Amino acid sequence: MIKSIVVSLALAFAAVSAAQAAGDAAAGKAKSSSCAGCHGATGVSSNPMYPNLAGQQAAYLEKAIKDYKTGARKDAMMQGMVGALSDADIANLAAFYNSSK
């Protein structure tokens, strides 16, 4: 009985934590105007030099953006574009592009 209560509480806590960690797609859309020049307004680029972001996994996008920000992933243009983004901005952008399928 106690074990099942502990397991239930742990699962509930994990679900709440995951929901809080997810970004806000509407806020991401509002922030995405600086991305649209290369990646398109909905994340579909008209230029083959730039990747499509629409439908990408949010976790992948968050990691890629953070890697550009820290310099772990090198691209002068992207480093300049993401330098001022907060963690919340990054999560929101990732949620927006993930939802733009």
Q: What is the pLDDT of residues 43-99, one digit of tens each?
A: 999 999 999 999 999 999 999 999 999 999 999 999 999 999 999 999 999 999 999
Sorted by where each starts, the structural domains of the chain and their CATH numbers stand as 24-99 (1.10.760.10)
CB-count exposure of residue 84 (10 Å: 0-12, 13-18, 19+): exposed
Other CB atoms within 10 A of residue 96 CB: 26
Residue with tokens 């691209």: 75
Taking only the tens place, the pLDDT of each residue in 27-38 is 999 999 999 999
| Whole-number Cα distances in Å, 12 to 6, 9, 65 | 10, 5, 29
For the entire predicted model, the pTM comes to 0.78
Length of the chain: 101
